[in-house]
Chains A and B, each alone.
Chain A
Amino acid sequence: MLKDLKIQSTSYLIKQLPTLTVFVDTDFNIIHASDNWLFTFGEKSTSTIGDSLFSVFSELNSKWKKVLMGCFEGKCSPIGIQKYTDISNQVKWYKWSNTCWYDENENIIGAIIQMNDVTDAVENERELRKTKVQLKQHSEISKTGRWEYDIEKDEITWCDTTKAIHEVPSSFVPRLDTSIQFYKEGYSRNAISMAVFEGQEKGRAWSLKLQIITATGKEKWVLATGKPYYEKGKLIGFTGTFQDIDEQVLANNEIKKSEKLLRTLIDNLPLNVYVKDINSKKILVNKAECIYLGAKNESELIGKDNFDIYDIETAKKFTEQDMKVMSDLVPILGEEMVSIDKKGVETTFLTSKIPLLDERGRANGLIGISVDITSIKQKEKELRNLIDVTSLQNKKIINFAHIVSHNLRSHSANFSMLLDFLRHENDEDEKQKILGMLNNASGNLLETIENLNEVLAINTNINVEKKVINLFEKLKSVEKNLANVIFENQAQIESDFHLDQTIKTVPAYLESILMNFITNGIKYKHPERKPVISLSLEKGKLVSILTIKDNGLGIDLMKYGNKLFGMYKTFHAHENARGMGLYITKNQVEAMGGKIEVESNVGVGTTFKIFFNEEI
């Protein structure tokens, strides 16, 4: 009874235990349990006192059974943690501890098991382990190690990665001084020594890209960082990272090297090279382009578009082109383009524009390459001019050769014909007549030869020395020479020349020009009106234009235009031979680098425009 009471009171005591406690007998049956225990585990299994422990913990493994059995024999082995899934399917972790259960006679009658909910701890630990693994992984992948230095203990610790970077075995024990010895002598070692010193003295953190020499003698770039840490305001040590950045630095150096190579290359190309973005703004320009655009350096041009550089029309044209290249993805290759800058300077380029594609194959800019061919174009133009001049000269020479041959032939034909007549002529009067004609013919021949000589002299530029001539005075003197003709024909000569009007020309040629055109105007006067010849001058810097207008018969230029100056190849000394005069005039004007233009209306009059080259 008393014993029962005792048991009962014991049982009652156990019931009230705040911990999760259970008493099992050697058959693993539950004898006592705290209410807490029953509340926690009983609910799910509806087990209660007297049931087997295994009915509550069905998943308890044989190892557990062994441990408890050991306990029944008096050997209390340490126990681990047991997983338990509660009624709401939540996983909980319990740390089991057990001890032998003795009766009053010190006989083992079972085991007392206490369970502690260690779910939080287990989860924390798991989290920590995961973090550690991750950290290790991260440290290995990024080749970033850690280190710590305890000032008081003068102890430095390296993590495995740090050791691996130094290529030392994991058993290596670093010291502060040996740590510093790893840095390459010179800049790297000095820099780290200084950083550590300043860290100690001023609490300054550091982050330095330095070189170390590893235990195996390899040079490596590392990023070493350090940060002091404090306890209650007192510096107690440093902690930091140690990262192997050798590959990055080397790769970076490689990139820099190729960039430099590329830059040197594009800067020294005798071509203008630039890169533009999608908005046609420059993002790269080489030296040649800088020089061409008059910029001191690249930065002056970066971000500028065509409108910042060129005249509005050129800019519009170029921008349209840029956009087309980028939208059609069709490059422009070696196309000739003329650009006019803001100052109006014209440049001819041979330009290529190549679209720059992004990884999706769309254009995000373009590369432009152009060669300034202005001087080549200029040379080409000069060459073409030269060819034109040469072929014109050639034509003139052939023309002249024909004139010479024709003239000489026509005279010699006349001679031979007249001589033949003379031989067969018996009539004395007729003989005299033929002799007179022979005389004429010989005179004509002489004059022809003189004329031909004159044309030759003009074309070989003999006596071509230009002078500044007073046009007004020259006209007056020509009028004086022609006074008779003017008077007989009641001609009127008008001019708008100023008293000091000058023109740069060959004096003799100017005289011949004025003489010829005035005479011409009078000779071909209209039968119904008095001849009026008006002269005017349009003075220019490069070219001055002398206009001589008459109110004569006029010429049907469509029909006879080509005969006006060169057409009439025979030079005779008759009254109507005007071929020679105009032919010589034309040669004179051309020899001075000028030209003659004619406008004429039949019945109204003729206007000659004589262009004087004032430059050469």
Chain B
Amino acid sequence: MRKFKFISIIDDDPITIFGIKKLLSCVVDCDSIEAYKDGKIAFDTFRKKFEHDEDIPEVIFLDINMPIMDGWQFLEEFIKLPIKKRIRINIVTSSIDPFDKEKWSYFKDSTHHVITYNNKPINREEIAEMTKEA
């Protein structure tokens, strides 16, 4: 079982958060799993952590449709942070809008972080895939 220090989930739906946490518990060993209900809270937290040289999550599960700052806006800001480490960002959405897929491919190509696109619901095998080393 792979060992993680810090994994975060950015989603405004408590059921999804519950699900991801539950699935994670079966495939990884993680010290801390934190959830944020919108992109802004998550980004502000990560930036602060980065500025204070604290741990930032190694894997991020990211929803797209959220209030305040959505998944795309979060990505836009996040990839601007000069984080050297490769972070794995898994987009988890119920959207099948082709426009969202295009956006994903744009972000994927403009950062050194690993970004994957996954449709809900996700299962154990997928979660295992999403927690491989970036």
Interface of A with B (CB < 8 Å)?
402, 405-406, 409-410, 413-414, 416-418, 420-421, 437, 440-441, 559-560, 563, 567-570, 572, 574, 576-579
Contacts and interface: CB of A to CB of B under 8 A. Distances in A.
17 contacts: A402-B95, A402-B97, A406-B94, A409-B94, A410-B16, A413-B16, A413-B94, A413-B121, A414-B13, A414-B19, A417-B120, A417-B121, A417-B122, A440-B15, A441-B15, A570-B65, A579-B67
Contact of A421 (B16, B22, B73, B120): B22
A569 B65 contact: yes
A437 B15 contact: yes
Interface in B31-55: 37
Given A414-B121, A416-B121, A576 B15 contact: no
B114 interface: no
A417 B12 contact: no
B30 interface: no
Name the prevailing secondary structure of the A interface residues. Answer: helix
Contacts of A559: 69, 73
Question: What is the size category of the interface that chain B forms with chain A?
Answer: 20 to 34
A564 to B, nearest CB: 10
B110 interface: no
A579 B14 CA distance: 17
Contact of B94 (A410, A440, A579): A410
Interface of B: 12-16, 18-19, 22, 37, 65-70, 73, 94-97, 119-123
B70 A567 contact: yes
Contacts of A410: 13, 16, 94, 120
Given A405-B96, A406-B95, A570-B12, A413 B66 contact: no
Given A406-B95, A577-B12, 17 more contacts: A402-B97, A409-B94, A413-B16, A413-B94, A414-B13, A414-B19, A414-B121, A417-B120, A418-B15, A421-B22, A437-B15, A440-B15, A563-B68, A567-B67, A572-B12, A576-B37, A579-B67
Of A440, A441, A569, A577, the most chain B CB neighbours within 10 A belong to A569
Of A402, A410, A441, A559, the most chain B CB neighbours within 10 A belong to A410
Contacts of A421: 19, 22
Of B15, B18, B22, B119, the most chain A CB neighbours within 10 A belong to B15
A410 B123 CA distance: 15
B19 A406 contact: no
A568 B123 contact: no
B103 to A, nearest CB: 14
* 10 tightest A-B CB contacts, nearest first: A413-B120, A410-B94, A409-B94, A417-B121, A413-B121, A414-B15, A570-B65, A417-B19, A568-B67, A416-B121
Nearest to A579: B67
Contacts of B94: 406, 409-410, 413
Name the prevailing secondary structure of the B interface residues. Answer: loop
A576 B119 CA distance: 24
Contact of B123 (A418, A420, A441, A570): A420
A559 B67 CA distance: 12
Nearest to B16: A414
Nearest to A417: B121
B76 to A, nearest CB: 10
Contacts of B67: 563, 567-568, 576-579
Contact of B121 (A402, A420, A440): A420
Contacts of A437: 15, 18
A588 B121 CA distance: 34
A49 to B, nearest CB: 144
A406 B65 contact: yes
A568 B65 contact: yes
Contacts of B66: 568, 570
A568 B39 CA distance: 12
Contacts of A563: 67-68, 70
B66 to A, nearest CB: 7
Contact of B120 (A402, A409, A440, A578): A409
A560 B121 contact: no
Nearest to A421: B22
Nearest to B92: A413
Given A417-B19, A577-B67, A578-B67, A572 B96 contact: no
Nearest to B120: A413
B86 to A, nearest CB: 27
B109 to A, nearest CB: 23
A308 B65 CA distance: 65
Contacts of B13: 410, 414, 570, 572
Contacts of B120: 409-410, 413-414, 417
Contacts of B65: 406, 568-570
A402 to B, nearest CB: 6
Contacts of B68: 560, 563
Nearest to B122: A417
A567 B15 CA distance: 21
B101 to A, nearest CB: 14
Nearest to B14: A574
Contacts of B123: 420
A563 B73 CA distance: 11
Contacts of A569: 65
Contacts of A413: 16, 94, 119-121
A137 B13 CA distance: 118
